[in-house]
Chain A
Amino acid sequence: MQGVAVTGMGIITSIGLSVEENYQSLLQKKSGISEASILKTFHANHIKIGEIKLENAQLAEILGIPEDNNFTRTSLLGTFAALKALRHAGINKINDMRTGLISATSVAGMDITELYFKEYFHNPSIRKYINSHHTGDCTRKIADYLGIRGLVSTISTACSSSANAIMLGALLIKNKILDRVIVGGTDALSKFTINGFNSLMILSDSDNTPFDQNRKGLNLGEGAAYLILESWEQVKATHKKVLAIITGYGNANDAYHQTASSSTGEGAFLAIQKSLEKAQLSPEDIDYVHVHGTATVNNDLSEGKALLRIFSKVPPFSATKSYTGHTLAAAGAIQAVYSILSLQMNVTFPTLNFNTKIKEFDLTPSTDVVNTNITHVLSNAFGFGGNCCSLIFSKC
């Protein structure tokens, strides 16, 4: 069989603590964008964010992690979603076959580091967090919690990270290096990223409006999502239900600017083109697109151009960052879950806050729930450093 089987998924975002809750929020146009109440930032009054309304201690309690832990928020969110994905796939014995974890993060432990950066020097009681800063620690926390002992690694390619993790996972299964792999990503909100995007002047002071002429920038969000990928041998042996298959993946670099996307959408175009080639599909076969759609002036223009270069008739497309905000390294995996939901339920999800088409082209995102047969979904994730990754999910 072409492609790699997805047998489980887990997710946590500002629109829900489960796949079902996320699905219901998408159908009911329920946004997760709010004012900051958990994250303490100077900018709290003039930005909105996609914040998960659970304190770190609450997340730890749900996961049964002892109070004296050194989990960062990123690790807690990642552990939460990865555990849900495992349960969804009905996996109890984690090491009964070659099982790996490829996790993505960009923020990693920065949410804690930024709190204690100066205090570490005079307060020994918090030093347990020092070595929780790096990206690898975040993945290690998830792996140890789940008891994974085999191949574990971390991808950090900014906002395309978890899409790349899914791609690598598919490759590891295809090449029979692993029988099963947990792939996805996690990022928590942090002052570091809020101030970074604020200094770039691409944060919106209200709800983000993807693909709208009057878009003012992005809302940052937080979340985590993971998929379980299994080899066909395992799927057959266990008679497991396959949720979707990953048929295409493509990674390319825009090679234009460290943070801005090219006006021609070259990197995006190449990534989509590669993913179609891999899936052996033509553009007309794509029924629905989950765009990266961050609602920055630059991204939406560049991505729109790329779509117009690929498709003679652009299929229905949605930007779900209008619900969750931009969850950075987690975004690609969160979109993967939404893509699989749209395949399973044969539904396109509304894009929120859309009013006016971008004047440079004739592209209108889906703004309503539409029931339609969906066989192949394209999902885009682009990031700083010109990193572009496109994935294609197909019905089994």
Chain B
Amino acid sequence: MLKDCCYINGIGSVSIQTSAFDMFKDYPVPLQRNNKPVHPSYKEIIPPAMLRRMAPGIKMGIFAALEALRDAEINEPDGIITGTGMGCLLDSEKFLEAMIENKEQHLTPTYFIHSPHNTVAAQIALYLQCKAYNMTYSHGVSSFEAALLDSWLQIQNQFANYILVGGVDESAPIFDALCVLGKTFKNPNDSIDFHNPISDISCRAEGANFFVLSSNKKQSSYARLTDISIYHNPEDDFQKMLDEILTRNQITRKEIDIVFLGYNADVLQQKYFDNYASLFSNTALAFYQHICGSFDTASAYGFRIAAEILRKQIYPQSIRYNDVCPKKIQNVLLINQANGYNHSLVLLQSC
């Protein structure tokens, strides 16, 4: 299926771990029920006047994007593609609250103009003065994967050589409280157990993870993005779906060295990931949401970890979900879903 190869050449992140966190030797900061990102210093890259009115998603996004570009040694990409599950939630909430409180009167537009889901991609374009392709996907837990699929299409069709792609999600106090009511996020008293969860919701966090994808392979490229599949609702066909992507790339299940699963300490989600895990007996299973927390584009953090492992060829202790140790690290499959919906499969290979 793949004509031109697509390599991961740069990575940039803001997460709930400090920027010094090195998963190959450090223990991650333990997850809480509600987690805030460790914001880097933004003032070197964003003027203070702008910074004051910038929501966390935009700041994190610009920072992570610039890091990824610097890592890839690129000044301007040929496309900017973001995925975000909830979009610019904080400014949406602020405008909404003001509108309700003030009974639709005396409103200022600042929060409204930063409320659209594409604001992060737009602000990065504005920052870089980048007039190229610009796109935003907002579809729950497969938002980042849709952005990846588009990036891959842009490169494969030779519309672009360098795509800046990322996942970003922020939180907002009232929406967060609603998510607890709507049973998406954990109550303060719920337990956190990624192996035997008993409560039915996950641990809220924020984050931005950006990447430079390119058809040009470098000495320092992390990994090759080989294929992506997204399925809305495979029901019992998840095995068929899995075999499809593997067959397409002439790989057997046994040849997958590590499977990354989006385990998120939610008892209702456990069975879906366990189902996938059961298809990979004797394969190393990895998890990552105990490090980055849960948000719609948390899988972009998993993507980051997988890319780093493929380059370094070391399988760190902190992300091992089972006791299997891979004999080699060549083929890595990332699997995610939520409540049986929005399944995604992303195949990464060493390069």
Contacts and interface: CB of A to CB of B under 8 A. Distances in A.
B177 A253 contact: no
B159 to A, nearest CB: 9
Main secondary structure of the interface of B (DSSP, over half): mixed
Interface of A: 41-43, 101, 106, 110, 113-114, 117-118, 120-121, 127, 130-131, 133-137, 139-140, 143-144, 148-158, 164, 168, 171-172, 174-175, 191-192, 195-196, 198-200, 251-259, 266-267, 270, 383-387
Given A148-B232, A168-B150, A171-B157, A139 B139 contact: yes
Contacts of A127: 181-182
Interface string B106-138: 011100111111110111011011111111111
18 contacts: A41-B104, A117-B96, A136-B342, A143-B232, A149-B237, A150-B232, A153-B137, A156-B138, A175-B153, A175-B157, A195-B104, A196-B112, A200-B109, A252-B132, A255-B126, A255-B128, A258-B122, A387-B134
Given A42-B105, A154-B139, A385-B118, 12 more contacts: A148-B232, A156-B136, A157-B116, A157-B135, A158-B117, A158-B118, A175-B157, A253-B125, A255-B125, A384-B116, A385-B123, A386-B134
A355 B116 CA distance: 33
B113 A384 contact: yes
Contact of B230 (A130, A151, A157, A196): A151
A382 B14 CA distance: 31
B8 interface: no
A249 to B, nearest CB: 10
B100 A117 contact: yes
A153 B149 CA distance: 11
B52 to A, nearest CB: 15
Given A155-B135, A156-B87, A134 B140 contact: yes
Leading 5 A-B pairs by shortest Cβ distance: A385-B122, A130-B182, A196-B112, A156-B117, A136-B140
B317 interface: no
A256 B132 CA distance: 13
A134 B174 CA distance: 14
A267 B125 CA distance: 12
A155 B81 CA distance: 11
Given A121-B177, A195-B107, A149 B235 contact: yes
A191 B182 contact: no
Nearest to B109: A199
A174 B132 CA distance: 21
B104 A252 contact: no
B104 A258 contact: no
Given A158-B116, A385-B118, A134 B138 contact: yes
A202 B194 CA distance: 50
A131 B131 CA distance: 35
Interface of B: 80, 85-87, 92, 95-97, 99-100, 103-105, 107-109, 112-119, 121-123, 125-126, 128-140, 142-143, 146, 150, 153, 156-157, 174-175, 177-179, 181-182, 184, 229-235, 237, 341-342
A174 B3 CA distance: 14
B113 A200 contact: yes
Nearest to A160: B118
A204 to B, nearest CB: 17
B117 A251 contact: no
Given A134-B86, A135-B138, A384-B116, A153 B99 contact: no
B181 A121 contact: yes
A253 B132 contact: yes
A251 to B, nearest CB: 5
Contacts of B178: 117, 120, 130, 133
Contacts of B146: 153-154
A258 B55 CA distance: 14
Contacts of B231: 149-151
A154 B86 CA distance: 12
Max chain B Cβ within 10 angstroms of own Cβ: one of A131, A158, A385: A385
Max chain A Cβ within 10 angstroms of own Cβ: one of B112, B121, B122, B129: B122
A133 B89 CA distance: 11
Nearest to B232: A152
B132 A156 contact: no
A154 B144 CA distance: 11
A199 B107 contact: yes
A258 B119 contact: yes
Contacts of A117: 96-97, 100, 174, 178
Given A114-B99, A151-B232, A156-B136, A270 B131 contact: yes
A149 B113 contact: no
A255 B130 contact: yes
Nearest to B182: A130
B3 to A, nearest CB: 9
A222 B129 CA distance: 33
A199 B122 contact: no
Contacts of B181: 120-121, 127, 130
Contacts of A118: 100
B123 A258 contact: yes
Contacts of A130: 178-179, 181-182
Nearest to A113: B96
